[in-house]
Amino acid sequence: MLAAAQRSVTDALQQGLGGVDTRPETTQLEDALLELYNLLEEYAPSWYTEEHHNRAESALRSLRRS
């Protein structure tokens, strides 16, 4: 799972450095935020508090409403 996430991040960085991505910017942002959120939920680092969790969920809800 982590290897796939790392590939996705690498792909996203490459796209930002000159690759072409035809998806709308908000879709890219939502995808990236959702991927980060899922990683944090799955691996739950010791510093990841409920406040972080709530802020991430709130950000995802805001993106979906826009």
Output the CA torsion sign for 54, 55, 56, 62.
positive
pLDDT at 27: 85
pTM of the model: 0.61
DSSP letter at 19 equals -
pLDDT at 22: 67
The stretches in the chain having pLDDT less than 50 are: none
| Residue 50, token pair as written in the block | 């409920």
For the chain, the distance separating the N- and C-terminal CA atoms, rounded to the nearest angstrom, is 29
d(CA 34, CA 31): 5
What phi and psi values does residue 18 have, to the nearest 5 degrees?
Answer: 130, -10
